[in-house]
Amino acid sequence: MKRRNFLRLSFFLAFLIFVFPLQSQERYRKSPPFPEPLDELKFPKIESFALSNGLGVTVARREGLPLLSLQLVIMAGESHSPEKFPGLATFTAKMMTKGAMELSSSRIEEIIESIGGNLSVSTFLDYSVFTFSFLEEYLDEALEVLSKMILLPTFPRREMDNEKRTLFYELRRKGNDPEFIAQNQLFRILFRDHPYLKGAFTEEPIKNISHRDVLAFYDQYYVPNNAHLVLVGNLNLPTAVRKVSHYLNTWKNKKIESQFIPIPEPSKNEKICLVDLPQAEDSTIYIGNVIFPKKSQDFFPFIVLNQVLGGTTNSRLFMNLRESKGYAYFAFSEINLFKRSGVFLIKAKVRPEVVNSSVRECFREIEKIIKEEITSFEIEQAKSYLIGNFPLQIETFESFCSRIAEAQAFALGNEFWNNYYENIMLINSEKVFEIAQKYPLLTPVIIIVADKAKIMEHLIDFKEIEIYNSRGELQYIQKIGVDE
Amino acid sequence: MVKLYHSKYKIFKSLLIIRITLLFLIIFSAQAQTQKDLPFPIYHFQLKNGLQVILSEDNSLPIVSVVIAYDVGSINEQQGKTGLAYLMENLMFQGSKNVSRMQHILYINRIGGTLNAITSEEKTIFLQTVPSNQLALVLWLESDRMKYLEIKESNVERVKDSLIEEIQHRKTSDPYLESSFAFDTLIYPNFAYSHPVIGSREDLREITIEDIKDFYSTYYVPNNAVLCVVGNIERKRTEELIRKYFESIPKGKEIPSSPSLEAAQKKSASETFEDSIASLPGFHLGYGVIPKHSGEFYSLSILNYVLLRGKSSRLHKRLFKRERIVFDYSGGIEKRKDFVAFKLFVLCNNEIMVERSLRAILSEFNRLKSTHLSESELTKSKNMFKVDYIRQYATSLERALFLTDAYLTHGTMDHLVSELNRYLEVSAIDIIGVINRYFTSDRRILLKIKIK
């Protein structure tokens, strides 16, 4: 008996010896390999210097490409536009490239293209930024044309009319986009009576902007002590300072009357607004509330929270509303942060008949974040996403330049992005749980952009709904099921 | 974060470094010398099964891009089976032996990476960028679907349905798509080159599971693929990993050759396309070219910048600024294997404007044919070209795509050292030469869009 067993065993062993090598070759294919240790993110040195006229200059060295990326930040955003001309900051920034002493707008375009350049302008709530990239051998030419545009703009009337028309139609076109409407409406409600309200400007006031308004805005804010220039590429701080100073030291500084921007209060009661967009096929939901400004201790725990809740297609909102319930085309959450405040929002595009259930599910997910501590597995997964994805966001010179400019505009310090990895690593379940309690996430403003006729009957959870048109004007307040 | 290696591994590693360095010294000394002018290193080797491997290190950020390109596209499709290449690309996400359906995407997303796939007329590319410590994961995923893709009836049907929906969606969201397909059949020399990558609804329905299995086993094999890894990598370790995951994939049969262009004739056409959904009239205008040598392609590329790249280009100034006769236009040169098409697509507010802009464009061509191109205009065009050329390798992913494309097009990357200079050496005479030779009425293809 024993012997037979042994025999069998030896057969088995022989069989193993024969088969095992074949199997073992492929065994590593069965499951995903473990990651190796992650290399440190070596951030290039970021150095700053201030010229005698107050203009800040920051340089970060990046090698490998014969290109330079430049950003000029002017601390004049939509919050600085006058009350009667929301949009003036945007319009003025656009006009800066449309004519300078001796240079027509066509000539400016030609000069920029001659140096392999590309120039664009964006305006945010707190600042405007000129983004200019070009071949590195033309730094002088680039600074020369930039200095002419910034120091000696002519704001030609014909170009102003052109630009007004362009901006007007651009805004009108965007005015049909449900997401644009929803975001603007959310900001209008959250920032009512606040300078940030001007960020949600519409096309109508653009028509009335005069040459004088643009000139006055330019005079007030386009001064070197209100500006910062960032350069990224293969150059050092002394060279950059010398060249920038050569072209921009005649830019006269001036005392600017800093405008006090109060800190807006978050919404304390849940409120729902329906923006009627007849013929809209789907319903767009935005749910948001005021949180903290860009410079804040709460930034890191909150971005981890956001990641778990709705940062990607693997996050809770997307998994619930799209993958599990099949309500939504998409469902995400995001954070928009500014100098004095910020907004946390959930956005989803859903089928009209499930709009009520979708809002309910969004609230359920927020509640879960507030009431139950997130497992450390989920926290670690969110962190590994944030850490893994970050270098992808700063890969091009332009995107890296934007990050530095942003850190300057919000006075975050040159070390901010350098410490990004470490700061994320420090976040754990308790810190996220703590931050979830701190802000009134459960009393947000709810915006729904949809065809009213399609969805009104489905909105059964709400007693009082404010009805708006797509330009943000209140039409009436609908009360449902209130007997007394 | 500190790098922690197991000590045993470390010793093993340093031994290997010596061996591999020696090997590299022998094999790559010639290559390394000739390629020192490129702003990045290139290492190229071939596995026994024919897989071409290209590595390029860049340690500025802890990321790595992995691109796998299969040398097959819609050009290789048979009549009646259009859309097969694109269908195949989509099936690559439907699961393989050790990776279930759509898990590939989930794995990459979860670690903060990005991924995509592209099917063109000439090639099919799978690409991803991830944190560099996750390189093995991507190689594991890519090798599994190269070796063991699971082609199941249920997945095929699901993908077919979504592709048919996509065709429908593209047609309704772009009213000019049908006319551009019609234009391609006029400008390209034969069916293989001219039919759309997305295929047709009827053909997709006809494609059988056998067709797909046959296509997969013919083209999705190591001897028809290029694997390119760019980023924060250690060459030796990367090569090890690549061998581990790819070397055991069996070599495929000999790859059938692509349809040739030898029979292509010079042709011209002037036709009208009745469009039932478009709201504005316009036209497609183009010229088909088979360049005699690469120098002509370089000249055509710079000509493209003189004519229509940027706001100070000839056509932009004439059509938009001076005469204001077009509503919108786009165009450029398009290369499918050895055939180059120069294409323009113009939309106008009405039929009168259509005629006027057509005349304006032809007169700009004529002006360039007969008058001198100034040095400053040429320099401007070349500088714009140079920036765009450099941007082709600005990120790790872009560089991986750039190298893959260079290899697939030329079978080597040796030309890259001098390629940019070859473009920048194009003279005004060269440009006048190609526009006179190729932008002629007996090559002109015109398709006017009439709205119903």
Band of the pLDDT at A481, cuts 50, 70, 90?
low
Asked if residues A401 and A129 have their Cβ atoms less than 8 Å apart, the reply is no
DSSP A459: -
Report whether pLDDT(A480) > 90.
Answer: no
Q: Which residues of A touch B141 (CB under 8 A)?
A: 32
CA-to-CA dists, residue B428 to A410, B315, B376, B381, angstroms? 49, 18, 11, 11
The pLDDT value given to residue B16: 34
Dist CA A385 CA A394 (whole Å): 15
B113, A37: Cβ pair inside 8 Å?
no
ipTM of the complex: 0.89
Distance from CA of A377 to the nearest CA of B (A): 12
Residue for token digits 């205009």? B377
Nearest CA among B64, B32, B448, B440 for reference residue B234: B64
Evaluate whether B40-246 and B269-451 have a shared fold: yes
What is the CATH number assigned to the segment(s) B40-246? Answer: 3.30.830.10
A33, B133: Cβ pair inside 8 Å?
no
Choose among B2, B130, B137: nearest Cβ to A33: B137
Crossing angle of helices B351-370 and B428-438, in 10° steps, is 130
- Cβ of A157: how many Cβ atoms within 10 Å? 10
Dist CA A206 CA B137 (whole Å): 53
Domain ranges of chain B: 40-246, 269-451
Report whether pLDDT(B85) > 60.
Answer: yes
Q: Which tokens belong to B302?
A: 């710079």
- Cβ of A82: how many Cβ atoms within 10 Å? 13
Report whether pLDDT(B450) > 60.
Answer: yes
> Mean pLDDT of all residues in chain A?
92
> How many Å is the Cα radius of gyration of chain B?
24
Dist CA B98 CA B148 (whole Å): 8
Biggest CA-to-CA distance, chain A: 108
The pLDDT value given to residue B25: 37
Beta bridge partners of A287: A346, A446
Interface of A with B in 52-91 (CB under 8 A): 62-67
Choose among A106, A116, A388: nearest Cβ to B113: A388
The pLDDT value given to residue B15: 33
The pLDDT value given to residue A25: 58
Tell whether A330 is within 8 A of chain B (Cβ). Answer: no
SS3 B262: coil
Report whether pLDDT(A21) > 90.
Answer: no
Choose among A36, A37, A115: nearest Cβ to B383: A115
Domains belonging to chain A, first-starting first, are: 46-248 (3.30.830.10), 271-479 (3.30.830.10)
Dist CA B344 CA B36 (whole Å): 38
Planar angle of CA A21, A26, A30, nearest 5 degrees = 135
A135, B131: Cβ pair inside 8 Å?
no
Percent of chain A with pLDDT over 70: 94
Q: Which tokens belong to B436?
A: 């006179």
Asked if residues B296 and B434 have their Cβ atoms less than 8 Å apart, the reply is yes
The pLDDT value given to residue A347: 98
Interface test with A, best of B104, B111, B386 (most A CBs within 10 A): B111
Q: Which tokens belong to A259?
A: 């405008």
Distance from CA of A189 to the nearest CA of B (A): 34
Dist CA B298 CA A96 (whole Å): 36
Interface test with B, best of A28, A29, A34, A111 (most B CBs within 10 A): A29
Residue for token digits 């939509």? A78
The nearest alpha carbon in chain B to A110 belongs to B312
A42, B113: Cβ pair inside 8 Å?
no
The nearest alpha carbon in chain B to A32 belongs to B137
Q: Which residues of A touch B1 (CB under 8 A)?
A: 37-40, 421, 425
A35, B109: Cβ pair inside 8 Å?
no
CA-to-CA dists, residue A217 to A6, A199, A250, angstroms? 96, 16, 20
Whole-prediction pTM value? 0.90
CA-to-CA dists, residue B238 to A350, A392, B231, B241, angstroms? 44, 20, 11, 5
Write the Ramachandran bin of A193: left for phi over 0, alpha for psi from -120 to 50, otherwise beta: left
A116, B384: Cβ pair inside 8 Å?
yes
Chain centroid to Cα A34, Å, comes to: 33
Band of the pLDDT at B262, cuts 50, 70, 90?
confident
Interface of A with B in 395-454 (CB under 8 A): 395-397, 421, 425
Choose among B60, B114, B132: nearest Cβ to A64: B60
A113, B39: Cβ pair inside 8 Å?
no
Question: For A156-202, what is each residue's pLDDT tens digit?
Answer: 999 999 999 999 999 999 999 999 999 999 999 999 999 999 999 99
Q: At A109, give phi and psi (nearest 5°).
A: -60, -40
Choose among A29, A135, A425: nearest Cβ to B387: A135
Choose among A41, A115, A381: nearest Cβ to B61: A41
CA-to-CA dists, residue B249 to A75, A255, A421, A449, B245, angstroms? 58, 71, 38, 53, 8
Asked if residues B381 and B306 have their Cβ atoms less than 8 Å apart, the reply is yes
SS3 A22: helix
A384, B4: Cβ pair inside 8 Å?
no
Report whether pLDDT(B186) > 90.
Answer: yes
Dist CA A220 CA B269 (whole Å): 60
Dist CA B271 CA B183 (whole Å): 9
Nearest CA among A249, A220, A241, A240 for reference residue A54: A249
A116, B386: Cβ pair inside 8 Å?
yes
Report whether pLDDT(A244) > 80.
Answer: yes
Distance from CA of A313 to the nearest CA of B (A): 8
B43-46: strand order across its sheet: B43-46, B52-57, B225-231, B63-70, B124-131, B114-119
Q: Which residues of B touch A113 (CB under 8 A)?
A: 310-312, 380, 383-384
Q: Is the dihedral of CA B271, B274, B277, B278 positive or negative?
A: positive
A384, B232: Cβ pair inside 8 Å?
no
Q: Which tokens belong to B151?
A: 């082609």
Distance from CA of A396 to the nearest CA of B (A): 6
Q: Which residues of B touch A319 (CB under 8 A)?
A: none
At a CB cut-off of 8 Å and minimum separation 6, what does B111 contact?
A35, A384, A385, A388, B130, B131, B134, B137
Choose among A25, A39, A62: nearest Cβ to B232: A39
SS3 A100: strand
CB burial of A179-194 (b: ≥16 within 10 Å; e: otherwise) equals: ebbbbbbbbbbbbeeb
Dist CA B381 CA B253 (whole Å): 46
A313, B144: Cβ pair inside 8 Å?
no
Interface test with B, best of A120, A319, A383, A389 (most B CBs within 10 A): A389
Choose among A29, A385, A394: nearest Cβ to B110: A385
Question: For A412-435, what is each residue's pLDDT tens digit?
Answer: 998 998 899 999 999 999 999 999
B58, A64: Cβ pair inside 8 Å?
yes
Tell whether A37 is within 8 A of chain B (Cβ). Answer: yes
B61, A67: Cβ pair inside 8 Å?
no
Question: For B316-366, what is each residue's pLDDT tens digit?
Answer: 999 988 999 999 999 999 999 889 999 999 999 999 999 999 999 999 999
Dist CA B378 CA B368 (whole Å): 12
SS3 B114: strand
Chain centroid to Cα B351, Å, comes to: 35
Dist CA B295 CA B304 (whole Å): 14
Average pLDDT (B301-330) is: 94
Query: Residue length, chain A?
Result: 484
Asked if residues A384 and A308 have their Cβ atoms less than 8 Å apart, the reply is no
Dist CA A62 CA A80 (whole Å): 34
Residue for token digits 């593209």? B170
The pLDDT value given to residue A482: 53
Report whether pLDDT(A27) > 70.
Answer: yes
Dist CA B117 CA B90 (whole Å): 8
Choose among B97, B110, B312: nearest Cβ to A109: B312
Band of the pLDDT at A38, cuts 50, 70, 90?
confident
Domain B269-451 has CATH 1.10.10.60: no
Dist CA B290 CA B261 (whole Å): 9
The pLDDT value given to residue A40: 81
Interface of A with B in 90-149 (CB under 8 A): 106, 109-110, 113-118, 133-135
Dist CA A101 CA A154 (whole Å): 6
Distance from CA of B180 to the nearest CA of A (A): 26
- What is the DSSP annotation of B336-348? ETTEEEEEEEEE-
The nearest alpha carbon in chain B to A107 belongs to B312
CB burial of A249-280 (b: ≥16 within 10 Å; e: otherwise) equals: eebeeeeeeeeebeebebbeeebbbbbbbeeb
Dist CA B405 CA B128 (whole Å): 16
B136, A66: Cβ pair inside 8 Å?
no
Interface of A with B in 151-170 (CB under 8 A): none
Question: For A101-139, what is each residue's pLDDT tens digit?
Answer: 999 999 999 999 999 999 999 999 999 999 999 999 999
B390, A113: Cβ pair inside 8 Å?
no
DSSP A412: -
